[in-house]
Amino acid sequence: MKYTDLPVVTSYLPKQAANNDTDAPSTLRETATTTQTPLVQRLREGFPMAEFRLLQELLRISEEELGRLLGISPATLHRRKKSGHLETPESERIVRFARLFGLTMEVFEAKDATREWLKTQNPGTASESPLSYADTEFGAREVENLLGRIDHGVFC
């Protein structure tokens, strides 16, 4: 069976956003139906650096900032760029932040509002930005819970 893999990062965006994104690179606007390599297999092999760049563009943050969020030192980031390949733990963190962006976008319905909320200090995340708070899996789950409360109108 032949696999044609679309970017993982954009697969977490709400469907209407992924299809109607006019300011996104053409790789974000693909809508072809293809057979995908299972995500676990792709994670085990490690993502290409293209996934890092897509997430960076989506969040509109610097390479250094995204590296910090993913737990990648500047020297390691330089090596990853040279090899063009991320390791499994780094790939899992890419998925974490892509998933979080998609969930946030479902609540706020616009990319700009999503970015602003993720980057702004919030009392629900110990006065850190939700992006910073989500640098651990537990923190990301707490941000997801906060989004659920916001979406259902529960006072936080």
Please state the domain extents for the chain. Answer: 8-151
Confidence class for position 25, pLDDT limits 50, 70, 90: very low
pLDDT of 39 reads 87
Q: In the prediction, which pLDDT does 11 show?
A: 86
State the average pLDDT for the chain.
Answer: 86
**Average of pLDDT values for 51-66?**
95
Written as one letter, the residue type at 67 is G
For the cut 90, the answer to whether the pLDDT of residue 53 exceeds it is yes
Distance CA(147)–CA(156), nearest Å, equals 10
pTM greater than 0.75? yes
Residue 101 and residue 113: Cα distance in Å, rounded? 11
Is the predicted pLDDT of residue 17 greater than 70, yes or no?
no
What is the torsional sign of CA 52, 38, 24, 146?
negative
Q: How confident is the model at residue 21 (pLDDT cuts 50, 70, 90)?
A: low
Phi, psi of 86 (to 5 degrees): -100, 155
